[in-house]
Structure 1
């Protein structure tokens, strides 16, 4: 399917690996010129070179921490007028709610709620003036169903979702959409670390911990960054212009809910 966005400019945050890279790859395949972002210069530059070579689009790597004003300024200096913004950022470390101090809570809210809002504030006006914009926020399945130890991440991302609910309706008539992707268990470096932690807690091997977690997923496997990216790219396409303010759960059926 032609997504109708060839030649569009996209910023994808935290996109040197994992789900962010999956989104960058799918948008590059659709013909978008990209600004990708990460904090490991070697991994980021390798990703940029690979995407540019495979898809023949312009890929600009920006080393920056998007949670900081300086990092956001650097990102937007590389692409002042993006047509597409994919917000993504690492969540705070897993920790029980009663172990969180004020500084940790502020950092979690800044990273997973305030930062994407700040970036949206900077790009949504020009998008509205041009009559086209696609904003996709990568949140978490824990926004829909709680996960022990991820209370801070869940709260911050749920706050982002609620904050943008009205904004999405305000700009819909201007050709700008805002949607959210809620990943479950995907085959990424972050999840591998989770297997190691689960193995230690259960006193089993990492492979056994992985097997148990996969067994609980109705689809019988982990998701891939590539298929996650395809959903992101569709939401950025001309075909998704009538979809806004929605949260899409991608978890292989793990959360048992009809709505």
Structure 2
């Protein structure tokens, strides 16, 4: 299937991580030129190499999403080198594991800035151009915790859920302008983040990481963790011309893990 992405410009945030890197490379293979944002410069460079290896242009931008003051300059640089952003993939890192009670207000505020306000601000910067051109895709990656809250990930559960409400509202505002806004949520995808969470749980429960992973995969009907490429394939479809009538949706990529309908 031709996804209709040749010559489009994509911006992938969190592009140095497992999910973001896979998404960026997949969009590149479909013909999009890709701007990459991440706080980890070394990881960012690796993703840029993968994008170029796929035959696309790459623009690597060191980017701390908690610093909203740099958004204008970063988008200006993308527009100058690659053209206006047609596809925005909002993908952020996650906060540390915490219970719901007893967390300092400053910790909540710090991650609200980095995970929510940054995403909204970047979207607001590129959205007018999408609406003017009457074509755009906004895909926001969250977590299975927005459907079934994950124990000891209270900050993530709460803040990512706020993005679901924002995206759904936005989808209704922009649909007539040829722009879609969708949420994608991963189940347990084999990334460094999932490895970290498994390690933290193993420490809390005084068990081995292998035992934790075995228990997790035992609860997944597919019987395994997902691969980043499997997640990236879904994001690429939602970013495509072929998905023009998918809007305001929450798409699970979880191997059947989430039990609810």
The TM tier, using the shorter chain, reads: over 0.9
- CA-CA distance at 1:203 after TM superposition: 2.1
Separation in structure 2 between the aligned mates of residue 77 and residue 235 of structure 1, nearest angstrom:
25
Equivalent position of 1:66 in the other structure? 65
Check the 8 A contact 1:91/1:111 in 2, yes or no. no
Q: Map 1:1-259 onto structure 2 (within 5 A).
A: 1-53=1-53, 55-80=54-79, 81-258=84-261
Q: Please list the CA deviations of residues 14-48 of structure 1 after superposition, one character each: whole Å capped at 9, or x if unmatched.
A: 11121111111110111000001212222211221
Deviates more, 1:166-175 or 1:132-141: 166-175
Structure 2: segments with no counterpart, 5+ residues: none
- CA-CA distance at 1:96 after TM superposition: 1.0
- Please report the TM-score for the alignment, with normalisation by the length of structure 1: 0.95
Separation in structure 2 between the aligned mates of residue 99 and residue 162 of structure 1, nearest angstrom:
25
- CA-CA distance at 1:169 after TM superposition: 1.1
- Please report the TM-score for the alignment, with normalisation by the length of structure 2: 0.95
Separation in structure 1 between the aligned mates of residue 108 and residue 202 of structure 2, nearest angstrom:
27
Check the 8 A contact 1:13/1:38 in 2, yes or no. yes
SS of structure 1 residue aligned to 2:101: helix
Separation in structure 2 between the aligned mates of residue 144 and residue 71 of structure 1, nearest angstrom:
32
SS of structure 2 residue aligned to 1:177: strand
Check the 8 A contact 2:168/2:182 in 1, yes or no. no
SS of structure 2 residue aligned to 1:37: strand
**RMSD of the TM alignment (CA)?**
1.3
SS of structure 1 residue aligned to 2:61: strand
Separation in structure 2 between the aligned mates of residue 204 and residue 251 of structure 1, nearest angstrom:
24
Separation in structure 2 between the aligned mates of residue 139 and residue 6 of structure 1, nearest angstrom:
26
- Matched residues, number: 257
Deviates more, 1:39-48 or 1:234-243: 39-48
Separation in structure 2 between the aligned mates of residue 248 and residue 185 of structure 1, nearest angstrom:
14
- CA-CA distance at 1:5 after TM superposition: 1.0
SS of structure 1 residue aligned to 2:15: coil
Check the 8 A contact 1:25/1:226 in 2, yes or no. no
